[in-house]
Amino acid sequence: MSEELARMAAQQEALRNELQQLSNQENKDGQGSLGNLDQLAKQMEQTEKDLVNRKLSQETINRQEEILTRLLESEKAEREREQDEKRQSNEAQDNMFRNPGQFEEYKKLKMKEIELLKTIPPGLNAFYKNLVNYYFQTLEN
Angstrom CA distances, 75 to 25, 34, 45, 67, stand at: 15, 9, 20, 12
Residue 138: what pLDDT? 85
pLDDT band at 63 (very low <50, low <70, confident <90, very high): confident
Number of domains the chain is built from:
2
Residues 8 and 67 in one domain: yes
Residues 111 and 53 in one domain: no
Q: Which residue range(s) make up the domain with 111?
A: 105-140
- Read off the pLDDT of residues 9-53 as tens digits, 9 standing for 90 and up: 888 888 888 888 877 777 666 555 566 677 888 888 888 888 788
pLDDT band at 135 (very low <50, low <70, confident <90, very high): confident
Q: Residue 45 domain-assigned?
A: yes
Q: Read off φ and ψ for residue 81, nearest 5 degrees.
A: -65, -35
pLDDT at residue 132 tops 70: yes
Is the whole model's pTM more than 0.75, yes or no?
no
| CA–CA gap between residue 40 and residue 66 (Å, rounded) | 9
- Read off the pLDDT of residues 107-117 as tens digits, 9 standing for 90 and up: 899 888 878 77
pLDDT at residue 7 tops 80: yes
Q: Residue 99 domain-assigned?
A: no
